[in-house]
Amino acid sequence: MTINTTIRLGLIAASVAAVSTAFAAGPVIGLITKTDSNPFFVKMKEGAEAEARKLGATVISGSGKTDGDNAGQITAIENMIAAGAKTILITPSDARAIIPAIKKAQGQGVMVIALDSPTDPATAVDAVFATDNYKAGQLIGQYAKAALGGKNPVIATMDLLPGHPVGAQRHNGFLRGYGLQSLDAKNNDLAKPAEVVCMADSFGDAAKSQTAMENCLQKNPGINLVYTINEPAAAGAYKALKAAGKEKDVVIVSVDGGCAGIRDVGAGVITATSQQYPLKMASMGVAAGVEYAKSGKKVSGYTDTGVTLIAAKAMPGVDSKDVKTGTDLCWGKK
């Protein structure tokens, strides 16, 4: 029987937002997310804990303070190893800088699986369970082109942060889906064709995205299409557009497909979003960790956890699902 009472691992470095553990019952599996406040990662944690209860395992969790907090994630890895975790599931904030800590864990017999965000290179972890982020970008790019209805695109991009594979794949996939000059899925640089008049790092944060969008509008008030790395960034961009009286003239597309994001699609805040499934990623990771504890067998390679385009209005030639479907599926809930 799994005991779900949570205790603290102790006082750890200030760069770690939260690390908690349960009284160990069954295999111990660590989950490290970029932050503990983003709804996407909250859902991921829920999925991990639900699967652990079902399989008789214990999940300990930790995160960085903010997206990009590599030091916090390293500290979380060290604490989880000390707590007896033999599998660690991680959404890397820094795809390269985290690799030495991952290698150190693997050297102690820990299986490491990346969820949602691959390392660079992806082979630095034992396996990756994630959305095809390039495809997610392509889907919203195709929809955005149809939604603009022949208008010349004047684009602002609310990106993640420099060099991150997820941010690059979504950004470049969006441009490719639209039919603009772009880069392939293996390139972690951000393409900037002439149609993109403003690019900003939002770090997936609503407030930062709002400020960035305000700055973009000052540079080019004619922006009619906004790509956002996730739905909090989309919400922030929308606030800036609404304050400028331009919200009805701009198409906003995004990636995540969380329940709040789908509500924003229904409300007209977001025109379309690519829905991914963090609950599925986490539950698969926990199941793999339990199997590793039982048999010593590690998973390997990349597993695509799926993506679905959700839009309030269907567009000819673009395969999408409606808001009801998105609500029924948001982030993998049954």
Phi-psi bin for 204: left (phi > 0), alpha (psi -120 to 50), beta?
left
Residue 75 scores a pLDDT above 90? yes
* Fold match, 6-130+277-299 / 133-275+309-332: yes
* Domains of the chain, residue spans: 6-130+277-299, 133-275+309-332
The Cα–Cα gap between 310 and 322 comes to: 6
Residue 295 three-state SS: helix
pTM of the predicted structure, to 2 decimals: 0.84
pLDDT band at 8 (very low <50, low <70, confident <90, very high): very low
Dihedral sign, Cα of residue 312, residue 316, residue 320, residue 324: positive
pLDDT digits (tens, 9 = 90+) for 94-139: 999 999 999 999 999 999 999 999 999 999 999 999 999 999 999 9
**CB contact at 8 A, 274 and 140:** yes
Class of domain 133-275+309-332: alpha beta
Dihedral sign, Cα of residue 6, residue 9, residue 10, residue 15: negative
Class of domain 6-130+277-299: alpha beta
pLDDT digits (tens, 9 = 90+) for 176-223: 999 999 999 999 999 999 999 999 999 999 999 999 999 999 999 999
For the chain, the C-alpha Rg in angstroms (whole number) is: 20
pLDDT band at 331 (very low <50, low <70, confident <90, very high): confident
* Rounded mean pLDDT, 270-298: 96
CA dihedral 260, 263, 268, 269 (to 10 degrees): -10
